[in-house]
Amino acid sequence: MSEITVGVVVFPGSNCDHDTEHAVASFAGIKPVMLWHNDHDLQGAKAIILPGGFSYGDYLRAGSIARFSPIMKEVIEFAGKGFPVLGICNGFQVLLESGLLEGALSRNRDKKFLCCQTFIRAVNGSTIFTSLYPEDEVLSIPIAHGEGNYFASPEVIDSLEEHEQIVFKYTDAEGRITDEANPNGSVKNIAGIVNRRGNVLGLMPHPERASEKLLGSLDGRGLFESLFLHIAEV
């Protein structure tokens, strides 16, 4: 069986690119390829991941300058054709800035940069990114961000709910969606959303940092596994 290529975009200031590469490479039959932001070639990738970090130093707004990187033209076209695009943390911010996802991320409610383990649940287990997660399973996946406070107008939130686009929510250890379990003030505890078509996912928690026993959690693997299973089937 030939290997499936998955692209990891490298912006100046990305710092989770190699963690993501490492996590992706741990799956049999999957080969990560690093895509420099100044290139235009997706190198035959079957899925694209925008990793976490501080692209362009978070100047102006997180993700706002990376969104106009040359490779984003191809990434937006790729998403437009229905191929999977995953944005983690800063990658989620880039997806929002680029208009592939709706809403925005502002500063955390308590002003702090948060770097800690959080509990989340895949409240929508029917996406290509979450098919292997039971909806009641509580996942322990870390966050590391200063601007992860998800915001959108009430009309957009209604529409996200109506079309089942809210994919991950912050919960407590028992899986309850409470305000105390909300680390950053996100509307409705939103930790991740998908586009209407279901092929573009953005989330603040870092599944690549929960993909190895040594890191304390394997709960992030289900996301990659769901995605790679989907790609292998297409």
Partner 1 sequence: MPYIAKIKVTLRQSILDVQGKAVDHALKNLGYRTVESARIGKYIEVTINEAELAEAERIGNEISRKLLSNPVMENYTLELEEVK
Sites of contact with partner 1 (CB under 8 A):
60-61, 64-65, 68, 96-97, 103-104, 106-111, 149, 151-153, 185
Residue of 89, 97, 145, 147 marked catalytic = 89
Nearer to partner 1, 123 or 152 (CB): 152
Tell the smallest beta-carbon distance from residue 2 to partner 1 (Å).
41
Give the contacts of 157 (CB within 8 A, at least 6 positions apart): 187, 188
Nearer to partner 1, 29 or 57 (CB): 57
Distance CA 34, CA 170 (A): 30
* ∠ CA 203-90-164, rounded to 5°: 20
Nearer to partner 1, 108 or 211 (CB): 108
Distance CA 127, CA 164 (A): 10
Tell the smallest beta-carbon distance from residue 104 to partner 1 (Å).
4
Tell the smallest beta-carbon distance from residue 1 to partner 1 (Å).
43
Residue of 21, 74, 147, 208 marked catalytic = 208
**Helix extents (H) in 112-171:** 154-162
206 is catalytic: yes
Q: How many CB atoms lie within 10 A of CB 133?
A: 23
Distance CA 207, CA 115 (A): 14
Active-site annotation, residues: 89, 206, 208
